[in-house]
Structure 1
Amino acid sequence: MTLEAGSILEGTIVNITNFGAFVEVEGKTGLVHISEVADSFVKDIKEHLKEQDKVKVKVLGIDPNGKISLSIKQANPVKKSAKPAEIDWDSEKKKQQSSAKFEDIMSRFLKDSEERLADVKKHQDFKSKSSKKNF
């Protein structure tokens, strides 16, 4: 198979660095950046790859200087299940009931806080009126 963007090939890891792995593909060496190693976050690339491992890579691109960008995670797409997700309808009802409880709690809180705020304003008005009388 020819070395061109979009092609999926098999290669051998020849060197591992902190930022990625160099893979030899069809006699040329390309770089798999650490962000293209796995679908999950990769902190230490050496936990995922070893030198001389055979890996399937996708050619992302070749720049004018001949540098080859490769990806392991794009060469091995995650297979999605054809089975639809199971929904627990009872838990959905419970969520609705708990949200109704939440709404009741919030409305009581608003009512109480408005009453308290009104009391505070009355108290401040009374204090300001009584202090003006003393002068």
Structure 2
Amino acid sequence: MSIEVGSKCQGKVTGITNFGAFVELPSGSTGLVHISEVADSYVKDINEFLTVGDEVTVKVMNVEKDGKIGLSIRKAKASEEGAKKAERTARQPVKPRRKEQPSLSFEDKMNRFLKDSEERLSSLKRNTESKRGGRNTKRG
């Protein structure tokens, strides 16, 4: 089995370091899952997510010329969830959209915008006028 970028496969965690985990692929080669590619959330300690001997699904992110293989558990899960979501939405009937009624006229929207703009401008002036001047300014 050749390893191609974008393919998903099962692998076994063979080693854990502070920067990631090494995963043995079915072809016999070993790739690295960087700590940032383990989970969607922040991973402070990789040992909370993986242990040596775990079977994981990984996605091949890159294969370098020197043989290093970059893997991702996070993106493998995301693509599985995306496929499941697409399958669910394909089964659901399409609901007709309601026609939305215009809530405000153009004039009403313009008046609201002008009012908000004037309020923001006045509060900006109020906050900056008191802060102008410094130690060395002339008072007169």
Letter in 2 for 1:10: Q
After superposition, residues 69-84 of structure 1 pair within 5 angstroms as 69-77=70-78, 79=81
Gapped regions of structure 2 (runs ≥ 5): 90-115, 131-139
TM normalised by structure 2 equals 0.57
Number of residue pairs matched by the alignment? 99
Gapped regions of structure 1 (runs ≥ 5): 83-102, 118-127, 129-135
TM superposition shift of 1:79: 3.5
After superposition, residues 96-115 of structure 1 pair within 5 angstroms as none
User: Residues 19-66 of structure 1, C-alpha deviation per residue, up to 9 Å, x if partnerless?
Assistant: 000000021100000000000000000000000000000001110000
User: Residues 61-99 of structure 1, C-alpha deviation per residue, up to 9 Å, x if partnerless?
Assistant: 1100000000000000173776xxxxxxxxxxxxxxxxx
- Alignment partner, residue 5 of structure 1: 5
Letter in 1 for 2:50: L
**3-state SS of 2:41 partner:** coil
Q: Radius of gyration: which is bigger?
A: 1
- Alignment partner, residue 56 of structure 1: 57
Q: Distance in 1 between matches of 2:8 and 2:23?
A: 13
TM normalised by structure 1 equals 0.59
TM superposition shift of 1:8: 0.1
**3-state SS of 2:36 partner:** helix
Pairwise CA RMSD: 3.3
TM superposition shift of 1:2: 3.1
Letter in 2 for 1:2: S
Letter in 1 for 2:19: F
Letter in 2 for 1:50: T
- Alignment partner, residue 31 of structure 1: 32
- Alignment partner, residue 102 of structure 2: none
The percent of aligned pairs where both chains have the same amino acid is: 50
Q: Distance in 1 between matches of 2:5 and 2:81?
A: 22
**3-state SS of 2:11 partner:** strand
TM superposition shift of 1:3: 1.1
Q: Distance in 1 between matches of 2:33 and 2:51?
A: 13
